[in-house]
Structure formats: C-alpha cells, structure tokens
Chains A and B, each alone.
Chain A
C-alpha cells in the first residue's frame, strides 16, 4: 500500500516538474546557449559572474527565442563535470566557456563540439585552437606592456621599482612578460619581484616588507587592482613620500574611481575587464538570432584608463 502511495507521489512530483520546463522549451525558447564560468572566488571572477548574469537577462529580453543557461564551477574538475551535466541534460546550440585551465578543459570541450555545438572560448585559450568557433579575450601582454611604457615615460626611463605578482598562472606570466620586456629596454631597475597571489592582505604584507627592505622606491606595479589597494594602504601607513607611482591593472571599480578623481599616485589603470564575458555572450547570441557571422577571434585592446576616458570603464554596480 505504502509503496503504491510513494510511487504515485513521485509520479505526481515528476509530472509537476516536467510540465513547466517542457512548456518553456516548446513554446518560445528554442535556442539554448550554455555559459560555463568560474565561481566568484575573488574580485575578477566575481565580476565575471555579475556580468554574465546581466548578459543573460539582457539577451533573453532582446531575443525571445534564446535561453541562456549559467553554470559556475569552483575548480577545473568541477567545470568538466558541469560540462558533462549540461550536454547530457540539454541539447546545446552554443557553449560559451571561460576555461579554468587550458589543458584540462580541451578534451571535454571537444566532446561537446562533437555534438554540433557552437563553441565560444573566453579569456584563456584551449590547448587546441581548432576547437573554438569564436575566441574572445583580453590582451594580458598588452596590460603589462602598456603600463610599462607609460611608467617608463613618466620616470624618464630610469628609476628603481618593485613588482608584485599574482597566482602562478599563464595570465600572471604573460603580464609580467609584457611588462619586463618593455622595462628591459630602459634604465629602470626592477629591484624585487615576489608573489602575493592577487590577495589584498598578502599584497599589504609584501609591500610592508618591500618598504622595509628598500629605503627608496620610485614606483610599484601590483599587476592587479585588488592587490594595489593593499599596496596603497601599506605605503600610506609607512608615510613614504618617495613612491611617485603605484599602479595596478584590471580596471577595478575603486581604482577607476581614483583615476577619475585625478589621483596623483595612481593616475591610470589598464583594463582587463571581466565584462568580456558579456561581449562573448552577446556575440554568440547574435550568431544565432541575427545571423550576424561571428566566427573568428576578437581580441580586446588594453588601452590606458585615464581621467579623460575613465567613465567608459566605470560600472558603479559591479562587485569588481
């Protein structure tokens, strides 16, 4: 008796669940775009999640036939599992993915592609570029190089500087590479370079140590605006006046505000906007709904954010 009751209950539940889902699919939204991104574990990925949610709402409002499915993952292996779940439960027309790591995600994305899904890769490229239909990314080398060029101009091509690195990854390596290649051609001396893991606390601590170690520092480059905030706090507390420039990168909200206000020590930033996920989702939606051809590579520039153009890079509601 009980077994029958339970079975009936389960059937009723299943039916109740399936009706609305089926209805949505059948009625209007016949194009499914899955978006797979890292979970909001620090400032930049927090921005990615925020802009992806915005893009979902805007794209679904603009194109009534498109459904955007968001999925966040906290590690590379979790992202692989999420991909498997997404492609097993739905018929995906497109996949927009910001891969955790290049190597680990290449195989799984290739399998999704085998079902005829349009693949948009964002930020970190896969090991095999043949897989992607569309590639949207920022230019990490330019983030480092443009900052270095500006700094070298301001310092007149000479001086003593210190650098803070992020988490040991390709992104960090490329930024440092872009920066050091430009600096090597000048008389500027990079006195020290250490990891602070894109973490405000660790950047504060490391900057305190730099200040204790070097009695004179002309400029500091933090490679990320989150770290820059920790650096600035350490410099202010030590009351050091010798540091003419404290620069970051990424275009974080608080730092863009400083640029807008014409801060003398931090007059510029370099964008590496998490909103690039939005460009990718919009372009993918256009491929399907507007039949605007979108296959290819789209590389965002990293122009300097200055007081003149800062309002274009300012998102007051973004967490980043």
Chain B
C-alpha cells in the first residue's frame, strides 16, 4: 500500500529512485535510441508525431484496462467493444446530421460515451452479480460486440456522412500549439486516471481489492460496486478512443479494433501493472503503449528483417523487455 500513498510514484519515502518503476521508460528510451541508429528518418518530427498520435487509441483504452487489471479482473472485449461503439456512433451521427448539422458530431460523441459506459456496466454486472470469471464473460461479450458490428456493416464498411467528415477530421489530424488533439486527449485521460487511482478513496479501494479481496471485504469495502465501476471506466475509455478513431478513416468495419485487446493487455503489463492485480502504473501503461507502436514503426523503417519475420522480432523484443524488467525488480 505504500506505493499508493507515496506522493511521487517514482520516488519512495526515503527519496530513493525506484528503478523497477522506471523500467518501461528506460525500455522506451532504449528502443528510441535503436530506432535513431537504424534510420535517420526515425527522429523526423513527422514520423514521431505519426507514431505518438497513432498510439493514442491503445494508450487510452489501456489506461482503462489498468483499472480493470488492478482490481484483479480482465477485459478481453475492448477491441470488439471499440468497433461496436464506433458503429453506433457513426449511425447516430449520420442520423442526426440532416437535422442538426455539425452539432451531430458532439451529440454522436455523447452517444458514444453513454453506449461505452453501458457496455462496461454490462460486463461489470455480469461479472460481479453473476459471479462469473471475467475471462469468460468478456470472451463472450467480445464475440457479441464483434458480431454486432459485422451485422451493422453487413460485413462491409459503415462510412460517416461526407459532410460531417470534413468538420470531424481535425479531431485526429488537427493540433493545438503543435500537439495533436489525440495526444492532448490522452494526456487528459491519463491525468484524470492517475488522480483517480492514486489520490482518491476509490483508487485505494480498487487496489486493495486487487491485492486481497477478502481483506478488502472484511474492512468494509463494497467489492462488487468498486469492481463494476472499474469496467464502467474501461467502457468510457473505449468510447473516448472511438471518438478519436472515427475521424481518422471515417468508417467502421468488421476488422476495426481486431486483436486490440491483446495489444492493450501487453501495454498494461509492459508498463509495470501486475496482471494478477493489486498494483497499477498508469504512466507506465502509456509508456507500454508507446513501446508497442515504436517497435512496429522501427520494424518498418529498418531494412534488416524479412517481412515474414517482423512479428517474431516484435514478440522477442516484448519478452526481452519483460525479462529486463524482472531483473531490475528482483535487485
């Protein structure tokens, strides 16, 4: 529990730097260094902006996943849920566009947040009230959401109204003082999440449940309620990611968000959050999401690896990063 009350997450009370908590940032720095060595275009501002902006989706969803995983849970449905929310949002916007013009974008975003929150609530209630393993519940909803988006698109694609497209585009491609909007949105999400997890009673309860459910219950924590809230937070994060995602390609397809759940979980774990719960690292999660995206980018920029082996090298780098993490921790 000391990590929860420490004022600076990277420095403990004695003032000693926690190397283990810095591990994901060190790993990120190493990969960026390698990228710079491999191709001089890597450090070009256009490339960096691309990579950071692109990692926003996984980062935002992974921040929500940090809450779920801290509580000792797991959500496999995030990728499908994201596609489903995207589909509903586009349908709402297209439906509202004739009557409300560009206001339809704002209203559609509101619809997305409501739908995302409800999807999370649905997962959470089945897990806590129905007392079923989160792995099984979210595996089920993963299939349900994926089938819904396939049904809504007839297996093809569901594009946003052309009139709205132009007005909505800047949410992904635009910037404020040179910082792209998706990056700003990620920052806000992370700041709110870090506050919620480290500085509020809710965050402490969530962490307590994750480290020992029975102890938390005996100390009077309403376990079901706190856990369900974690899934609602996850749903809201998925909706925020969807809001940033739609302006990029302007369509939802049955392959939208496919396998994102695995990237999200990987990002959370690389970031230093324990998969069994009880310890969360929100900033580490963001570093994890960036690491995944930078590795993929470096793979394309390098000429050394056969296109057939790219996935193998990515997998190896992730395992090496985790091993390095383990050794710094055990010291």
Mark A residues whose CB is within 8 Å of B. Answer: 39-43, 45-47, 49-50, 165, 168, 192-195, 198-201, 204-206, 208-213, 215, 226, 229-230, 233, 237-238, 253-254, 318-320
B328 at the interface (CB under 8 A from A): no
Known contacts A209-B297, A213-B41: does B249 contact A319 (CB below 8 Å)?
no
- The answer to whether B248 and A233 touch across the interface, beta carbons within 8 angstroms, is yes
In the complex, residue of chain A having the shortest beta-carbon distance to the beta carbon of B154: A319
- The answer to whether B296 and A46 touch across the interface, beta carbons within 8 angstroms, is no
Q: Which listed residue, A40, A213, A230, touches B39 by the CB 8 Å rule? A: A213
Bound CA–CA A168/B310 (angstroms): 13
Give B57 Cβ to nearest chain A Cβ, in Å. 9
Give A93 Cβ to nearest chain B Cβ, in Å. 28
Bound CA–CA A281/B253 (angstroms): 27
> Which residues of chain B from 247 to 302 have a CB within 8 Å of any chain A CB?
248-251, 253-256, 258, 296-297, 300-301
Q: Which listed residue, A193, A201, A212, A229, touches B47 by the CB 8 Å rule? A: A212
Known contacts A46-B254, A165-B307, A229-B249: does B155 contact A208 (CB below 8 Å)?
no
- The answer to whether A40 and B253 touch across the interface, beta carbons within 8 angstroms, is no
- The answer to whether A41 and B255 touch across the interface, beta carbons within 8 angstroms, is yes
Give A193 Cβ to nearest chain B Cβ, in Å. 6
- The answer to whether B155 and A210 touch across the interface, beta carbons within 8 angstroms, is no
- The answer to whether B173 and A230 touch across the interface, beta carbons within 8 angstroms, is no
- The answer to whether B173 and A208 touch across the interface, beta carbons within 8 angstroms, is no
- Chain B, residues 39-50, CB within 8 Å of chain A (1/0): the string is 101101011001
Known contacts A201-B256, A204-B248, A229-B249: does B300 contact A210 (CB below 8 Å)?
yes
Bound CA–CA A195/B250 (angstroms): 22
Known contacts A200-B249, A213-B41: does B255 contact A45 (CB below 8 Å)?
no
Q: Which listed residue, A40, A165, A195, A211, touches B254 by the CB 8 Å rule? A: A40
In the complex, residue of chain A having the shortest beta-carbon distance to the beta carbon of B297: A209
Bound CA–CA A45/B155 (angstroms): 7
- The answer to whether A46 and B256 touch across the interface, beta carbons within 8 angstroms, is no
Give A73 Cβ to nearest chain B Cβ, in Å. 14
- For A206, the chain B residues whose CB sits under 8 A away are 300
- For A213, the chain B residues whose CB sits under 8 A away are 39, 41, 300-301
- The answer to whether A319 and B47 touch across the interface, beta carbons within 8 angstroms, is no
Bound CA–CA A208/B248 (angstroms): 13
- The answer to whether A212 and B310 touch across the interface, beta carbons within 8 angstroms, is no
**Other A-B pairs beyond A205-B54, A226-B253, 9, CB < 8 Å:** A42-B155, A200-B157, A200-B251, A201-B255, A201-B256, A206-B300, A210-B300, A253-B156, A319-B155
B150 at the interface (CB under 8 A from A): yes
Known contacts A46-B156, A194-B310, A318-B156: does B150 contact A40 (CB below 8 Å)?
yes
- The answer to whether B156 and A320 touch across the interface, beta carbons within 8 angstroms, is yes
Give B119 Cβ to nearest chain A Cβ, in Å. 21
- The answer to whether A212 and B155 touch across the interface, beta carbons within 8 angstroms, is no
Known contacts A46-B254, A209-B300, A212-B44: does B157 contact A319 (CB below 8 Å)?
yes
Bound CA–CA A209/B159 (angstroms): 25
- For B249, the chain A residues whose CB sits under 8 A away are 200-201, 204, 229-230, 233
